């Protein structure tokens, strides 16, 4: 090879590289543009999916009221996007299986691949949410309220959840055996909530035919499906110790009814930030904890219900005749109260940030917020089980100063109709239940 050929060879190779680069440049630019456009498309789809989830969950709060659900969906979209013309809301199931489906579709314009003739494509997302009743869980406190008492109460009413020797029937004063039959089992369950699961008659998989068995939803040793054995006797000492523990180990920010609950009427709509995702694998899914978007014209956030901790000294309670008739409900003052309350997330004893640690921890948390069974009646002593019809959420007020000694130990609490959950079993929607929750089902 001559010297001239050797000198010209690098120039030739460099020229070839330039030619190849020039030829590939449109391809490289096209691939970069495609990546940018695809990334923008995927980002918008994720945004729409979040919006669909939020709209479905917000609308499901109003189920089974179709008109209200649709109005909330429109309100959420108006405040947060997307355009109301880009989504459809379908409410179905009536009062038996209420659910709402949301579909969002809108055009997405591309920037780089327009040169290839692709100017826009529809981008969409969908979600569905349903409303359920609290069907059962661990962590239930082994006191009870009869359906008759619950029917006679209003949100904020003061009711008895553990009677003294003047109430109840044949030694049955409202306590239930869940984790065991011993006094220590009862006290531990009353302090920390049950370690085993109980379920209600309306919950799929909760029946005397299925329980005990592999398809049974309850694991309580003292229950057979929704039927559980009563814990007879007054058990003054264990009851007093459990109530004192719950009151003494409640976080300062959760010590009153007004601290813990706010009426849903104080909010314009449910924001996506109000929803809490339960632990992976939990049956609860994504659920409401508390709405965040308060009305700007609401001067206060208190339901106006007097709080007593403990109950006033020597205040006589309603007279109870054998059989445990309902207490005369103490209703909220005029202008106070609401049919539904939102639970302050800092005071949610089951979910962060207010979750209570398991036994034997004595850390302060929201221990005055409790869930107890709603039963059909007291029955006739230890041989006659009670049936759990549903569950009720209450705020523990305590006992009168002289009412948890000797044979007297009546425990009082306030009834709340709330939108929340605890990672609970999804019971069939029960319009008469006081505890509901929503979750995404698609």
Residue among 425, 382, 391 at smallest CA distance from 143: 391
Per DSSP, helices labelled H in 61-107 are 66-80
Query: Rounded to whole angstroms, how far apart are CA atoms 197 and 219?
Result: 5
Using a 10 angstrom Cβ sphere, with 0-12 exposed, 13-18 middle and 19 or more buried, the burial of residue 113 is middle
Query: Rounded to whole angstroms, how far apart are CA atoms 79 and 55?
Result: 11
Query: Rounded to whole angstroms, how far apart are CA atoms 53 and 50?
Result: 5
Sign of the dihedral defined by the CA atoms of residues 329, 334, 339, 340, in that order? negative
Each as own residue / partner, the long-range contacts of residues 186-189 (CB below 8 Å, 24 or more positions apart, any chain) are: 186/142, 186/231, 186/235, 186/238, 187/235, 187/238, 187/239, 187/241, 187/242, 188/359, 189/141, 189/142
Could you give the 3-state DSSP secondary structure of residue 86? helix
Element (H, E) at 42: helix 3-60
Residue among 359, 16, 432 at smallest CA distance from 191: 359
Q: Which two tokens stand for residue 312?
A: 């006033």
Residues of the chain with pLDDT under 70: 1-33, 113, 115-116, 165-171, 264-340, 379-382, 401-402, 418-425
Task: Assign 3-class secondary structure to 386-438.
Answer: EEEEEEEEEEEEECCCCCEECCEECEEEEEECEECCCCCCEECCCCCCCEEEE
Phi/psi at 113 (5° precision): -80, 10
Using a 10 angstrom Cβ sphere, with 0-12 exposed, 13-18 middle and 19 or more buried, the burial of residue 5 is exposed
Query: Rounded to whole angstroms, how far apart are CA atoms 270 and 53?
Result: 12
Residue among 423, 355, 417 at smallest CA distance from 391: 417
Q: Which two tokens stand for residue 50?
A: 């979040």
Element (H, E) at 29: helix 3-60
Distance from the Cα of residue 300 to its chain's centroid: 24
pLDDT, tens digit, for every residue of 243-267? 999 999 999 999 998 888 877 665 5
Residue among 141, 134, 112 at smallest CA distance from 31: 112
Per DSSP, helices labelled H in 135-283 are 147-152, 183-192, 236-248, 257-260
No. of H helices and E strands in the chain?
Answer: 6, 23
Q: 51 and 80 in contact (C-beta within 8 Å)?
A: yes
Each as own residue / partner, the long-range contacts of residues 113-117 (CB below 8 Å, 24 or more positions apart, any chain) are: 113/30, 113/33, 113/34, 113/37, 115/30, 115/33, 116/30
Pairing type for strands 99-109 and 223-224 reads unpaired
Q: 396 and 356 in contact (C-beta within 8 Å)?
A: no
Element (H, E) at 45: helix 3-60
Query: Rounded to whole angstroms, how far apart are CA atoms 373 and 393?
Result: 9
Q: CB under 8 Å to 191, separation ≥6 — which residues?
A: 241, 242, 245, 246, 359
Query: Rounded to whole angstroms, how far apart are CA atoms 305 and 428?
Result: 31
Task: Assign 3-class secondary structure to 157-196.
Answer: CEEEEECCCCCCECCECCCECCCCCCHHHHHHHHHHCCCC
């Amino acid at each position: 090879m001559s010297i001239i050929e050797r000198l010209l060879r690098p120039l030739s190779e460099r020229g070839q590289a330039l030619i190849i680069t020039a030829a590939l440049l449109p391809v490289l630019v096209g691939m970069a543009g495609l990546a940018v456009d695809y990334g923008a498309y995927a980002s918008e789809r994720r945004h729409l999916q979040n919006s669909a989830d939020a709209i479905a969950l917000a609308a499901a709060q109003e189920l089974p009221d179709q008109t209200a659900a649709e109005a909330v969906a429109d309100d959420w979209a108006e405040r947060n996007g997307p355009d109301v013309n880009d989504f459809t809301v379908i409410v179905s199931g009536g009062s038996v299986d209420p659910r709402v489906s949301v579909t969002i579709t809108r055009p997405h314009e591309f920037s780089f691949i327009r040169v290839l003739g692709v100017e826009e494509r529809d981008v969409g997302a969908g979600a569905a949410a349903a409303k359920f009743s609290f069907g059962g869980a661990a962590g239930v406190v082994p006191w009870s309220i009869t359906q008759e008492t619950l029917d006679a109460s209003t949100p904020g009413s003061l009711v008895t959840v553990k009677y003294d020797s003047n109430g109840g029937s044949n030694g049955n004063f409202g306590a239930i055996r869940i984790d065991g039959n011993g006094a220590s089992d009862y006290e531990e369950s009353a302090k920390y909530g049950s370690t085993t699961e109980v379920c209600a008659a309306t919950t799929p998989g909760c029946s005397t035919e299925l329980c005990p068995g592999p398809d049974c939803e309850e694991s309580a040793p003292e229950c057979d499906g929704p039927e559980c054995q009563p814990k007879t006797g007054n058990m003054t000492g264990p009851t007093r110790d459990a109530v004192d523990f719950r009151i003494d180990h409640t976080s300062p920010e959760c010590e009153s009814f007004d601290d813990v609950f706010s009426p849903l009427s104080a909010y314009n709509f449910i924001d996506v930030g109000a929803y809490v995702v339960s632990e992976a694998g939990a049956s609860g899914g994504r659920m409401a904890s508390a709405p965040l978007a308060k009305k700007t014209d609401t001067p206060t956030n208190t339901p106006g219900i007097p709080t007593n901790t403990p109950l006033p000294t020597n205040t006589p309670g309603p007279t109870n005749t054998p059989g445990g008739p309902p207490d005369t409900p103490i209703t909220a003052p005029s202008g106070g109260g609401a049919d539904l309350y939102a639970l302050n997330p800092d005071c949610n004893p089951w979910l962060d940030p207010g979750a209570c640690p398991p036994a034997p921890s004595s850390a302060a948390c929201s221990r005055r917020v409790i869930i107890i069974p709603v039963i059909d009646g007291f029955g006739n002593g230890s041989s006659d089980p009670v049936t759990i019809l549903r569950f009720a959420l209450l705020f523990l007020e305590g006992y009168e100063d002289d009412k948890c000694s000797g044979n007297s130990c009546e425990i009082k609490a306030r009834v709340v109709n709330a939108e929340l959950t605890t990672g609970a079993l999804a019971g069939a929607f029960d319009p008469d239940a006081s505890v509901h929750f929503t979750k995404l089902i698609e």
